[in-house]
Amino acid sequence: MMKILANDGINQEGVKILKEKGFEVILNKIPQSELMDYINENQIEVLLVRSATEVRKNLIDNCPDLKIIGRGGVGMDNIDVNYAKEKGIHVINTPSASSPSVAELVFAHLFTGARFLEDSNRKMPIVGNTEFSSLKKNYKNGIELRGKTLGIVGFGRIGNEVAKIAIGLGMNVLAADQLIDQAQVELRLFNGQTFEITLHTSSLEELYAHSDFITYHVPAQKQGYLVSENEISKMKNGVALINCARGGVIDEKALLNALNSQKVSFAGIDVFENEPTPSQDLLSHPRVSLTPHTGASTQEAQARIGVSLAEQICALLEAK
């Protein structure tokens, strides 16, 4: 019986599919330092990970039984993908399974900042019963998203999902992507009707100049930041920035300076430069909405990820 180690977990829907096909699914969480020995001792042929477990050259070289490495999610910067493929190992991921969940988190952060929820939720439990009136006054200048312009940097699957929600809210959408000139955005209504909108991408300069809010959906940066003081200086005064992509896309020190000068009105951050020990200055800033890298952490996304991984594994192994 072929053994599959889901080291960072897998939804039960995926487990069910794999077991029905005769695979043994192991859900033990093996520490990184013990992973190589465990794989070899238990003759693991399929290793499934998320962002916590790293699959580097050394592990690939020393685990000759591995046939498939699967990443539950989009980014595969924790896997030496090209090297694994050179060694004849299949590398799979689930690029579209979590896109709707990440897109919804973007708007959770946008609504939070637009209505001061990040600060209100911190202060109401402490002084809400003694300073209610002053808090109400502090938060009286909230803004609506409708009619505002959302800039989307990176217009792949997640960026497209973000655009759908923005259009549904009545927002203007600008998108920038070096690889895409135009894209179709399909809106599907509750009654089954669908509408397609052709969205032409803009330059980053145009997006920065006209966006009230900017959200980033790009891969991890190999060198330098995508957003530093120079880029922030080109943005509108009072812009808001959302990063649910990867830590290191935005220079956190530059972001803090911009927040303190009010060049940036608020930020929503799901990913950090130094995970799992983010900057305390960023964590404690009153105008930053925070989540601990949970963009894909919904029940629905986990179910889609599990099913997608299971179906890909079955297709690859049954084809042999």
Residue 275 among the catalytic residues: yes
Residue 34 among the catalytic residues: no
pLDDT band at 320 (very low <50, low <70, confident <90, very high): low
Tell me how far CA of residue 240 lies from CA of 102, 201, 208, in angstroms.
17, 20, 11
Residue 293 among the catalytic residues: yes
Q: Which of 50, 109, 246, 304 is catalytic?
A: 246
Give the contacts of 47 (CB within 8 A, at least 6 positions apart): 4, 5, 7, 39, 55, 63, 66, 68, 69, 70
3-state DSSP assignment of residue 279: coil
Q: What sign does the dihedral 126-131-134-135 (CA atoms) show?
A: positive
Q: Which of 104, 293, 300, 311 is catalytic?
A: 293
Q: What pLDDT shows up at residue 220?
A: 85
3-state DSSP assignment of residue 259: helix
**In this predicted model, what pLDDT tens digit does every residue of 211-259 receive, in sequence order?**
999 999 998 888 899 999 999 999 999 999 999 999 999 999 999 999 9
User: How many Å apart are CA 289 and CA 108, to the nearest integer?
Assistant: 9
pLDDT band at 147 (very low <50, low <70, confident <90, very high): very high
**In this predicted model, what pLDDT tens digit does every residue of 50-108 receive, in sequence order?**
988 999 999 999 999 999 999 998 889 899 999 999 999 999 999 899 999 999 999 99
Q: What pLDDT shows up at residue 25?
A: 97
**In this predicted model, what pLDDT tens digit does every residue of 176-200 receive, in sequence order?**
999 999 999 999 999 999 999 999 9
Mean pLDDT of 8-30: 96
Q: What pLDDT shows up at residue 221?
A: 87
Q: Quickly count: other Cβ atoms within 10 Å of residue 20's Cβ.
A: 10
Q: Which of 20, 144, 206, 275 is catalytic?
A: 275
Domains and CATH numbers, the chain: 3-94+299-318 (3.40.50.720), 99-290 (3.40.50.720)
Q: How many residues are given for the chain?
A: 320
Q: What pLDDT shows up at residue 319?
A: 58
User: How many Å apart are CA 318 and CA 48, to the nearest integer?
Assistant: 18
Dihedral angle, C-alpha 207, 211, 216, 222, nearest 10 °: 40
Question: What proportion of the chain, given as a percentage, has pLDDT over 70?
Answer: 99
